[in-house]
Amino acid sequence: MKRGIIVLPILWILVSLLSCSDEKESIATISKSELNDKIKGAWAGKMIGVMKGIGMEFKAAGVTYEDSITWYPEMIERALLEDDLYGQLTFMSTMEKNQGLQTPVSKLAEDFANAEFNLCHANLQARKNFFDGIMPPLSGAPAYNMHANDIDFQIESDFIGFIHPGLPQSAAIMADSVGRIMAYGDGLYGGMYVSAMQTLAFFEKDAKVVVRKALQAIPRESQYAKAIQTVIDGYNQDSVNWRRTWQMVQDKWGESDLCVPYHPFNIDATINGAYIAMGLLYGENDMEKTIDIAIRCGQDTDCNAANAAAVLGIIQGYEAIDEKLTSHIPIIADKAFLYTDISFNKAVSLTQSFAEDNILANGGKLQDDLYHVKLQTIQFAGQLEQAFPDMSMSYFIQMSDSEKFKLEGNWVDFRYGEGDNDLYKVSTTPGDSFEIAFSGSGISVLGSYQTDGGTAMAYIDGEPFREFNCYHRTEAGKWNGNRQHIIHKMDLTEGDHTLRIVVLDKKKEASTGHKIYIERVIIYKDSTISST
């Protein structure tokens, strides 16, 4: 039986109309050509930002990036190969080929899962969950996705803002639906915040206004909102020295990442979202300065610069962006982005078509090539969600620490090599078991998904917890492949526990083996409980 909830067709339009029916009407006008220019600026900004930041991705983790930032116009062509673009264009392609704005989330998830490209972190787990019958919204929920707080939806949320000019409430409803394919809590709020900024940018002239107003789209009590507010407060205190504000953010959220807590690498939406806001506030509405600051903050530099530049691209419009940043775009404007049949020109056209649908469906009008947009105010209408609140790493155990766990059966050693020399323990036959005693309130087993992955049952303190499998359709396993948290339990009572994994005599039909790949075990604690 399929687990999870199949979300019904996305009635974004109808719901947004109902949610805004009591608002005082406020109408803004924008011509077809001006809307087109802003949409072109949005996609161009995304491409420019990702390519200016790609070479520094995670080269500055927990520190600022102080080296030079290279740019020449021809760099933009490689944006056609970047997941920041083709990932969300996959969603738009599904909408184009199905029911437009009312395409079901289940269909978006299906096409995303079946796409040819590799995925990592929250997206990879969402894909794996889909194939295991765990559907949205459970595919992004913390019980089934250890990466619920990760940056993935934030990276892919731009198109939602692009197709909702001046309609942040409608965008929020769509983001709250689509984002649950791979995210929850702060991971979800990252996409809601970024798309809210972009909806506002169509009718604002100052990025600082957009950064502040968009906070109303998410709960103030969330860690994500608190991080953005910290950036705003830092800017208010010192509007020149962004590094001072960077340190405030680093001190609070620098070690917030639960998926790779033993490394300064931080893929959380929260800290990376703060860097987007920092670029927009300290960038003084200048495209290059905004991008450069977002990059120099470090961590996921290309994604953060791309999100920030897309916001500014909408505010300024394509024609106002410095030609040295855009001069090569016309040369590649009809070339398709990787894994899609959508080019820059088609992306602009498709976005404008969806934007027009949204404007008209949400009470607006089109008269003589002039859109009359019924502007929406922002007000978060949901309940606060937080994945793994107050959790932090206590310690981890690698497979080289053989005295700290017990194996039974036919396990073998395995290393990927080519610089990736972590030791794995790999089961080979049904009945093999892995057991570890630990003290904490959460545990996660990091391993890999493979074409020969098998199925196992996890037991916590002797009680069956969850059946899981390590099968994946492609052979991979390094950080840019299928390395993943294969099983986790994060809501235990603080104290002593035992995890036991038993390999079952069953597997996915396409799997070629019964292998369970284990690289390390991470133990988490409730950070609110004193260790004394």
pLDDT higher than threshold 90 for residue 396:
yes
CATH number of the domain enclosing 408 = 2.60.120.260
Host H or E run for residue 391: strand 391-398
Residues 343 and 432 grouped into a single domain: no
Higher pLDDT, 5 or 52: 52
167 domain-assigned: yes
pLDDT, residue 477, reads 53
**pLDDT tens-digit readout, 316-355:** 999 999 999 999 999 999 999 999 999 999 999 999 999 9
Q: Give the highest mean pLDDT range of 17-31, 366-380, 470-484.
A: 366-380
Determine the Cα–Cα distance for residues 502 and 320; give it in Å rounded to an integer: 61
Span 506-511, average pLDDT: 94
Evaluated on CA atoms 453, 454, 460, 466, the torsion sign reads positive
pLDDT higher than threshold 60 for residue 236:
yes
Amino acid at 368: D
Question: pLDDT category, 224, cuts 50, 70, 90?
Answer: very high
pLDDT, residue 520, reads 95
Residues 169 and 195 grouped into a single domain: yes
pLDDT, residue 15, reads 43
Among the listed ranges 65-69, 290-294, 421-425, which one has the minimum average pLDDT value?
A: 421-425
pLDDT higher than threshold 80 for residue 22:
no
CATH number of the domain enclosing 332 = 1.10.4080.10
Residues 183 and 57 grouped into a single domain: yes
Q: Where are the alpha helices (DSSP H) in 179-300?
A: 186-201, 207-213, 223-237, 242-253, 269-282, 287-296
Average pLDDT, the chain: 93
Among the listed ranges 23-37, 78-92, 370-384, which one has the minimum average pLDDT value?
A: 23-37
* Cα radius of gyration rounded to whole Å, the chain: 23
Residues 27 and 160 grouped into a single domain: yes
Long-range contacts from 421-426, C-beta under 8 angstroms, 24+ separation: 422/398, 422/519, 422/520, 423/398, 423/399, 423/519, 424/399, 424/448, 424/517, 424/518, 424/519, 425/399, 425/518, 426/515, 426/516, 426/517, 426/518
Residues 209 and 301 grouped into a single domain: yes
Collapsing DSSP states into helix, strand and coil, what is residue 333?
A: coil
Span 499-503, average pLDDT: 98
pLDDT, residue 3, reads 42
Span 455-484, average pLDDT: 84
Amino acid at 109: A
pLDDT higher than threshold 80 for residue 13:
no
pLDDT, residue 433, reads 98
pLDDT, residue 186, reads 98
Residues 215 and 338 grouped into a single domain: yes
Angstrom CA distances, 259 to 62, 93, 392, 403, stand at 16, 30, 10, 24
pLDDT, residue 388, reads 96
Higher pLDDT, 1 or 176: 176
Evaluated on CA atoms 228, 234, 236, 240, the torsion sign reads negative
pLDDT, residue 118, reads 87
User: Do 375 and 200 touch, CB atoms closer than 8 A?
Assistant: no
pLDDT higher than threshold 90 for residue 68:
yes
pLDDT higher than threshold 90 for residue 480:
no
Question: Which of 344, 374, 404 is where one domain is finished?
Answer: 374
Question: How many other CB atoms are there within 10 angstroms of residue 58's CB atom?
Answer: 16
28 domain-assigned: yes
Backbone angles phi and psi of 510, in degrees to 5 = -80, -10
Question: pLDDT category, 481, cuts 50, 70, 90?
Answer: low
Amino acid at 405: F
Can you give the residue range of the structural domain that contains 445?
Answer: 391-526
531 domain-assigned: no
pLDDT, residue 339, reads 97
pLDDT, residue 12, reads 46
Determine the Cα–Cα distance for residues 502 and 455; give it in Å rounded to an integer: 9
Span 146-155, average pLDDT: 97
Span 17-31, average pLDDT: 68
428 domain-assigned: yes
pLDDT, residue 482, reads 64
Question: pLDDT category, 475, cuts 50, 70, 90?
Answer: low
380 domain-assigned: no
45 domain-assigned: yes
Determine the Cα–Cα distance for residues 66 and 291; give it in Å rounded to an integer: 14
Determine the Cα–Cα distance for residues 233 and 24; give it in Å rounded to an integer: 31
pLDDT, residue 416, reads 84
pLDDT higher than threshold 80 for residue 17:
no
User: Do 31 and 367 touch, CB atoms closer than 8 A?
Assistant: no
- Number of domains the chain contains: 2
Specify the pTM: 0.94
Determine the Cα–Cα distance for residues 168 and 204; give it in Å rounded to an integer: 13
Class of residue 135 by CB neighbours under 10 A (exposed 0-12, middle 13-18, buried 19+): buried
Residues 440 and 357 grouped into a single domain: no
Contacts of 502 (CB under 8 A, 6+ apart): 431, 432, 433, 456, 457, 459
Residues 365 and 503 grouped into a single domain: no
Question: pLDDT category, 19, cuts 50, 70, 90?
Answer: very low
Span 475-479, average pLDDT: 55
Question: Which of 374, 405, 420 is where one domain is finished?
Answer: 374
pLDDT, residue 169, reads 97
Determine the Cα–Cα distance for residues 323 and 81; give it in Å rounded to an integer: 22
Higher pLDDT, 21 or 276: 276
Determine the Cα–Cα distance for residues 422 and 84; give it in Å rounded to an integer: 29
Question: Which of 374, 407, 431 is where one domain is finished?
Answer: 374
Residues 214 and 101 grouped into a single domain: yes
Strand 411-414 to 463-469 pairing:
unpaired
pLDDT, residue 421, reads 84
Residues 400 and 370 grouped into a single domain: no
Count, residues in the chain: 532
Span 465-487, average pLDDT: 79
Contacts of 427 (CB under 8 A, 6+ apart): 409, 410, 411, 434, 454, 456, 503, 514, 515, 516
Collapsing DSSP states into helix, strand and coil, what is residue 277?
A: helix
**Could you report how far apart the first and last alpha carbons of the chain are, in Å?**
47
384 domain-assigned: no
pLDDT higher than threshold 50 for residue 244:
yes
pLDDT, residue 394, reads 97
Residues 412 and 354 grouped into a single domain: no
Residues 311 and 416 grouped into a single domain: no
pLDDT, residue 310, reads 98
**pLDDT tens-digit readout, 282-318:** 999 999 999 999 999 999 999 999 999 999 999 999 9
381 domain-assigned: no
pLDDT, residue 492, reads 97
Token readout for 394 is 């206590």
Determine the Cα–Cα distance for residues 158 and 482; give it in Å rounded to an integer: 26
pLDDT, residue 277, reads 98
